[in-house]
Amino acid sequence: MKIQHQISGKSYKASGFIGRYQKLVTETVIPWQEKILMDEAPDTEKSHAIANFINAGKVLRGEDPGDGFYGMVFQDSDVAKWIESASFSLMNTPDPELEKELDKVIGYIAAAQDEDGYLNTYFTVKDRDKRWTNLHEAHELYVAGHMIEAACAHFEATGKRTLLDVMIKNTEHIYDHFIVKGNPGVPGHPEIELALMKLYRLTGNARTLELCRHFLNERGTDPELFIKEADNRSWSVWGSNPRDEGDLLYRQCDRPLRELEAATGHAVRAVYLYAGMADYASEAGDDELLSACRRLWDSIVRRRMYVTGGIGSTVQGEAFTVDYDLPPDTAYAETCASVGLIFFASRMLENEIKGVYADIMERAFYNTVLAGMALDGKRFFYVNPLEVDPGISGVAVTHKHDLPVRPKWYQCACCPPNVARLIESFGRYAYGENEDMAYCHLIAPGEVQFDNGLTLTCTTDYPHGMDIRYSVKGTGKLAIRVPGWSSSFGLLKDGVKISPELDNGYICIDVEGSSEIELKLDGTPHFVYASNRIPRAAGMVSLRRGPLVYCFEGVDNGSVKALCIDRKSGIDITSVPGLPDVDALAVKAWREAENDELYSDDAPVTEPVEAVAIPYYMWGNRGETEMRVWMR
């Protein structure tokens, strides 16, 4: 039996900080993204994603496909993630008009499904005879995975089986191809593994679990699998060569999964895969697979993760590199990778209740994930650097990927809907339960109805306020995580101080009838120092308060490069113009006078100043300017 499982999507009604973000996604992000997917947004990168489904349906009916297929080979997944976001939104805020829009889009998808269950617009419109012949590059299983997740969310939100039946049929087609007919292959881009686990839990179909197990067990057992596949075809999507040095690591295919020691390759593929591994391990009681997950977890969070919770340090392959290679100015830290890290952490919590998993979920969410979207919900970062210098960032060939300003959209638009679906489904990651225990993994204001009969209302200004009140009703136990960053905490139950012991970062409280529980965390701002093994951050300092990492922007400080922080001084809480109701941090610093000489024999002239830092997730919302997390 699993220790705990996520609450259902309809069990959490957000308020406070999370509620405001969910409202932003519901009212702004989802309608905006639909316009983009329908090619109706002005001055925005063309998507054509919904038109691809319409045209695929025409092909299957023997009609003229019009303007055919446009976009990335995985363009269908943009629609899937939008459907998932919109479905989660319906669980939070019922909207008949949005539900009608979903029905219309799902109708296009259903019409694009082949008689045998196959569903992928790229191959239906463009290369029908080539399906399942290029798992290495073509993302067929990745797209199917995202559509399965969308189908599960839509059914949970509406009770309608339209998309669910489409994807059950599609899953049966995949099962037939790989299990019944025995065709070799694993996903070139993992994702379907965690999706199959969702479908299994929703339907109870054992073949879905078997298919997930098959993909996990087969991965890496034949390192030449994709080479053999390439030898049997004469075409390519990207021009990538499975014989290239590093390709096996890039796709996590160099060895069987239970033998993995370190996080390698494309960061998003990696954490999607690890999430599927951990999810299956919890369901099947696979201790060997769980042991591999623990090693991979330690590899990421102890040696290959940015202080912001960003992962994947290089633009070359959007990938992990080696231990302690975490350059701030050329960081990749894709938004989707931090979303995937949250998935991985939540699945590890299914296996073992340890606060470190929720600590990392929180760090990734409040910093990198939220930084991936502008405060108005209309612009997005794919890449999340920890240092930006206008004129170099986004310009120099080494820094082209590190943009100083968020674009409206991308041709490869995986990140914007990923952020949206995570925010709308935040409650699933914040709360869990089993027969008699309710778990508070993340501090999430709002109301929760657990299936075990407990109800809870969380009231807090978190992540800016450090006082949390839980009003609990029912009979059972409540497990509340105390974040690892809080050096101390106070706890009251019905106004009386209590001192339960921490167990792996959680305190357990018996509940009978109704209780008021007050948790006070230590929100003292503090300095964070980098390991001297990190070349570009050694000897430098950053600021943190609660779960929030802070950064310094030029709009508040002038040239950030010219600042040197006095780490022996205190840190004050202040505010900045244009960012109301947000705690900024002020520290003493020295500013070097400008020097136009490339090199000089004279020591810099300095003057004492006050430097101001804002939460990292808010950077880049006040125009193009310098930004740094790590400071001298």
SS3 521: strand
Contact 517, 492 (CB under 8 A): yes
Contact 349, 432 (CB under 8 A): yes
* Cα radius of gyration (the chain): 25
Q: Please give the backbone phi and psi of residue 149, each rounded to the nearest 5 degrees, phi first.
A: -60, -40
Which of 514, 526, 338, 300 is CA-nearest to residue 419?
A: 338
Classify 346 in phi/psi space as left (phi over 0), alpha (psi -120 to 50) or beta: alpha
Is 318 annotated in the active site? yes
Which of 90, 80, 89, 85 is CA-nearest to residue 112?
A: 80
Apex 513 CA angle, 435 and 489, nearest 5: 80
Query: For residue 475, how many other CB atoms are within 10 A of its CB?
Result: 12
Distance in angstroms (rounded) separating the CA atoms of residues 232 and 496:
72
Query: Which entry of 212, 253, 293, 414 is annotated as an active-site residue?
Result: 414
SS3 278: helix
How do 437-440 and 467-481 pair as beta strands? parallel
Query: Which entry of 137, 149, 193, 318 is annotated as an active-site residue?
Result: 318
Helix (H) or strand (E) holding 491: strand 489-493
> What is the DSSP-derived secondary structure letter of residue 390?
B
Is 414 annotated in the active site? yes
Distance in angstroms (rounded) separating the CA atoms of residues 33 and 84:
12
List Cβ neighbours of 308 (8 Å cut-off, separation of 6 or more): 333, 363, 364, 367, 368, 371, 384, 386, 549, 616, 629
Contact 283, 200 (CB under 8 A): yes
Which of 365, 322, 319, 326 is CA-nearest to residue 548?
A: 365
Which of 613, 619, 618 is CA-nearest to residue 631?
A: 613
Span between the terminal Cα atoms of the chain, in Å? 50
SS3 310: coil
Distance in angstroms (rounded) separating the CA atoms of residues 517 and 449:
17
Q: According to DSSP H, which parts of 126-161 are helical?
A: 140-158
Contact 283, 197 (CB under 8 A): yes
Classify 106 in phi/psi space as left (phi over 0), alpha (psi -120 to 50) or beta: alpha
List Cβ neighbours of 192 (8 Å cut-off, separation of 6 or more): 141, 142, 144, 145, 148, 174, 212, 215, 276
Apex 91 CA angle, 89 and 95, nearest 5: 65
My answer on whether omega of the bond before 580 falls inside 30° of 0, hence cis, is: no
Q: Please give the backbone phi and psi of residue 325, each rounded to the nearest 5 degrees, phi first.
A: -90, 90
Helix (H) or strand (E) holding 519: strand 506-521
Q: Which residues are catalytic?
A: 318, 414
